[in-house]
Structure 1
Amino acid sequence: MSDSTDAVFRLPPEPRWPQVVQDVAYLTRGRSFMHALYRRFGTAFSIRLPFYGPAVVISDPALVKELFRQPVEAVRGAEPNLGLVLGPGSSFGLQGEKHRRHRKLILPQFHGDRMRAYESLIEAETMEEIAQWPEAREFPVQPAMMRITLNTILRGIFGAEGAEFDALRTLMPRMIKLGSKLALVPALHRDFGPLSPWRRMTSMRAELDAIFASLIARAQADPAPDRRSDILSLLLQARYDDGEPMSHSDIGDELFTLVVAGHETTATSLAWAFERLRRHPRALERVVSEVDAGRSDLLQATVHEVLRTRPIIDAVSRQVVAPSIALGPWTIPEGHTVTVGIGLVHENEEVFRDAREFDVDRFLGATPEMYSWLPFGGGARRCPGAAFANQEMTVVLRTVLRELRLVPTDARDEPIKSNGVVSFPGRGGRVVVYRRRRVGTDRHASPQSVRSATLPA
């Protein structure tokens, strides 16, 4: 709960280093820097973050729970740079009641039967991709996962095909790459001329909006809109509590957000899944046996453990907008950022026994606890596409392991690298595969079936 304005602020300990030293350490060695502070100070410490200023980093699930339960009047999302890049109608750009109203409309589109409807599409995209994979030669799997996840989003979320699909498949990776840099450096959010990053971004966004307008017009002209299951069509049909529809510009901003939040992230998590399974041959053998038997419990537990041991997003943050808030013994003043160290929580030995070990049985028959398992964030700003990402990971892994033999390795773990947005396998998640059966038999989707894969209503 929020404290009164005359509260005495009590902050966790902090390193006695100049701001510039903390900035350099965070920007150049962010993950190891945070872990060093965790080892020194424990589950709560203060720090000064570049672009955010004074911050408190927490990794105790009890404190995480308190933070995520703060009212919207006390804390707000701390991703203003992303909101500027993605647009004012993006979930990242909205705050308070506007965000709550928006989320209430978005969230139902990613649950229940609607998620199961995408299974055949995800499998077909995977089958088309793996048909091109070489045998007996090591290659990085992350680029392949990027293609699968992007194609799935463009077809399943945008409802794109033909020329629009081809245009988006070329445009979106360029926008995501540039947008990630702009989100990290707010000073670039100005038009310095034709070659400036912001001018290039606004030009590409104009292209994107034109494609969105075409997709929206086609969806609205469909004589049977109730038979469409792409997210764009569902958002066009959705209504706020007062009966008002989403504006087309807000739909465009949210669709762009869903690509940014769900493309590279899910692809990278899949690359980590292959990297982890290759280095744990017994776990790989058990998962393959389960897939062959038509079961999925261990596969789902494996996905949960991959996301715990290799979270691709290392932190989520809230900014204090009340005079102060109380978190356990600490009193955090207005203007401070409170950051949840996701990797720190996941490696907390008091939360997870043998936390640094990859154990596919850890979540077998158990649902991860919402304040200690945080790959999708938490609270009112938890990723609305979490169910979609989970579905995508399980279907892609199941399809690959059913069709191909993944060769184990005794090579060292791939290093954890970061591009400032996601933490990815330093060598791209390298794999060696052999075909278990001919890709494209009658039992399974063929590469050609991707173009005709339908989404049940």
Structure 2
Amino acid sequence: MTASTGSEPGSPKAQEHSLRTLDSLPRVGIRDFARDRGRFARPGRPRSPLWGMGDTVLIDFPVGPTVVLTSDPEDAKAVFANRDGALSFGEMLRRFTPHEPLFGSDAYIFREGDEHLKERRKVAPPLHGKALKSYERAMVDIVLRRLPEWPLGKPVSFSQFGGQLALDVMMTVIFGVSEPDRMRRLERAMTAYNAVSESASFLGVGVLTTLLSGRWAAIPRLARTAAAVDAIVLEEIAERRRTGSRTDDCLTMYLDIDAADEQPRGDEFLARSMRGLMLAGYAATTVTLGWLADLLVDHPESLAELEASLDRGEDDYLDAVIAETLRLRPALPFTGRRALQDFDLNGLLVPQGAYILIGIMALHERAELYPDPLAFRPDRFVGARPKAHSWVPFGGGAHYCLGAEFALFEARVLLRTLFEHRRLGAVAGHVGGRSSRTHPLPIPAGGAPVVLMARPSC
């Protein structure tokens, strides 16, 4: 193939330019990758033999895709900056993630170029800016409603509590379901759907089939539980259309957006989109809240500073704690693109059809970016915003996570409200910072065990 001409790193190049080929990269065999994949996707890059081979390696699959794996922030910058259609985010998702069976092949995340940007502009408003503030009261009420259910003075799983809060936010803020019976049915249906999507069997079948065939296999149980969720959302949509009722939630905004569109997508598409938002928000928030509690109780000095800052009515340190948690324990360990044509990755020729994967956790553990990178130090972000291309828990570029602002706002409100009424204590004998080896999500070992205590003022 003859690549098109370009002059900047990260753009296609004419063949007369001398670029390194993939043969110049260290090769990681499938056995070594399989043995070390846990540490690639889990904390501790400097201890990983895989990353000990260098910043950029070639994963050598005997059958399957050509994969360039990098933790270089300049590579991340080049990938995220691409705008000429040489790289595809959607094709990477189809090959390596369960997004297609979970969200549907017509989801906006699979669109590229101008079509992607147009769709993104339509679906963004409910997750950004002024809309967020309208959700705050509902998020506060969710925490206050759940607090009496959580026992005091004995070990509990904060990941479990965080997951419950995330689910409540999705049902209230995303779906806006208020009718009690429908809310109960939706919670049961969503819990069943989440259980399938988090199951080891789902991920195991998916990983195997994607390596062999390039697509995640259809799983009947997933389709059944998804349909059950969609049916309840369609009930809510039908009732709103019949009664004209309106509430401050994402569903109301999306109904308005679809009604004003020149080509409305229909209620089934809206229901599927709501389910996709729910699943993405639930998973990311569950992981983040669990890790935040686990890391804080393991670092009592940071926990004390957080409590003191919140008592002063300040959110800066809380925001820094959230940013540092996402640096050390991002909900997803990688992002990437597929090369739709030959691509210059800072002097490396990535051939058409190959995949570029960016190791998010490994990038976050680079000592030149973050001194003492494995240490939990929220002060890194006090008075300093995270920098693009060196802090990428939500990816970057045109495909930067649409729900990032929502997720950060949600974590701030939920945690601020919780700490107004509870204190966190460590569980004797528990060693924090370790990742579960059995749960499909990268949650803390043991589900982030903590002891909840009432605030003296309560």
Which residue, 330, 340, 343 being the options, matches 1:321? Answer: 340
Q: Does 1:211 align with 2:243?
A: no
Aligned partner of 2:370 in structure 1 is 352
Aligned partner of 2:352 in structure 1 is 334
Aligned partner of 1:24 in structure 2 is 34
Aligned partner of 1:454 in structure 2 is none
Q: Does 1:102 align with 2:119?
A: yes
Alpha-carbon distance between aligned partners in 2 of 1:12 and 1:173, rounded to the nearest angstrom: 47
Q: Secondary structure at the match of 2:196?
A: helix
Alpha-carbon distance between aligned partners in 1 of 2:63 and 2:150, rounded to the nearest angstrom: 42
Aligned partner of 2:409 in structure 1 is 391
With structure 1 as the length reference, what TM-score do the two structures score?
Answer: 0.85
Q: Secondary structure at the match of 2:108?
A: coil
Instruction: Summarize deviations over 1:138-195 as a string: whole Å, max 9, x none.
Output: 1111111111110111110011132222122111232233235546534679xxxxxx
Calculate percent identity across the aligned residue pairs.
Answer: 25
Alpha-carbon distance between aligned partners in 1 of 2:426 and 2:417, rounded to the nearest angstrom: 18
Alpha-carbon distance between aligned partners in 1 of 2:269 and 2:394, rounded to the nearest angstrom: 23
Contact 1:13 1:41 in 2 (8 A): no
Shift of 1:269: 0.7
Shift of 1:427: 1.2
Please provide the CA RMSD for this pair: 2.8
Task: Give the 3 Å change call, closer, same or farther, for CA 307–12 of structure 1 in structure 2.
Answer: farther
Alpha-carbon distance between aligned partners in 2 of 1:183 and 1:240, rounded to the nearest angstrom: 37
Q: Does 1:271 align with 2:283?
A: no
Q: Does 1:2 align with 2:12?
A: yes
Q: Does 1:262 align with 2:281?
A: yes
Which residue, 387, 410, 432 being the options, matches 1:369? Answer: 387
Counterpart amino acid of residue 25 in structure 1: R
Aligned partner of 1:220 in structure 2 is 241
- In the alignment, structure 2 segments of 5+ residues that lack a partner are 1-10, 211-216
Alpha-carbon distance between aligned partners in 2 of 1:114 and 1:158, rounded to the nearest angstrom: 14
Shift of 1:92: 3.9
Aligned partner of 1:64 in structure 2 is 76
Shift of 1:421: 5.2
Shift of 1:217: 1.5
Aligned partner of 1:82 in structure 2 is 99
Alpha-carbon distance between aligned partners in 2 of 1:5 and 1:182, rounded to the nearest angstrom: 43
Aligned partner of 2:187 in structure 1 is 169
Contact 2:76 2:389 in 1 (8 A): yes
Shift of 1:9: 5.8
Shift of 1:297: 0.8
Shift of 1:37: 4.8
Alpha-carbon distance between aligned partners in 2 of 1:321 and 1:165, rounded to the nearest angstrom: 44
Shift of 1:329: 1.9
Which residue, 170, 178, 185 being the options, matches 2:205? Answer: 185
Shift of 1:408: 4.5
Alpha-carbon distance between aligned partners in 1 of 2:15 and 2:266, rounded to the nearest angstrom: 39
Task: Give the 3 Å change call, closer, same or farther, for CA 331–222 of structure 1 in structure 2.
Answer: farther
Task: Give the 3 Å change call, closer, same or farther, for CA 380–50 of structure 1 in structure 2.
Answer: farther
Contact 1:275 1:430 in 2 (8 A): yes
Counterpart amino acid of residue 270 in structure 1: L
Task: Give the 3 Å change call, closer, same or farther, for CA 137–381 of structure 1 in structure 2.
Answer: same
Q: Does 1:433 align with 2:452?
A: yes
Contact 1:83 1:92 in 2 (8 A): no
Out of 150-159 and 119-128, give the one that drifted further: 119-128
- In the alignment, structure 1 segments of 5+ residues that lack a partner are 190-195, 440-457
Task: Give the 3 Å change call, closer, same or farther, for CA 53–6 of structure 1 in structure 2.
Answer: farther
Instruction: Summarize deviations over 1:35-57 as a string: whole Å, max 9, x none.
Output: 63554232222114699621111
Out of 274-283 and 44-53, give the one that drifted further: 44-53
Instruction: Summarize deviations over 1:408-433 as a string: whole Å, max 9, x none.
Output: 46842242125675311011111112
Task: Give the 3 Å change call, closer, same or farther, for CA 420–129 of structure 1 in structure 2.
Answer: closer
Shift of 1:31: 3.1
Shift of 1:18: 4.4
The structure with the greater share of residues assigned to helix is: 2
Q: Secondary structure at the match of 2:423?
A: strand
Kindly tell me the number of residue pairs found equivalent between the two proteins.
429
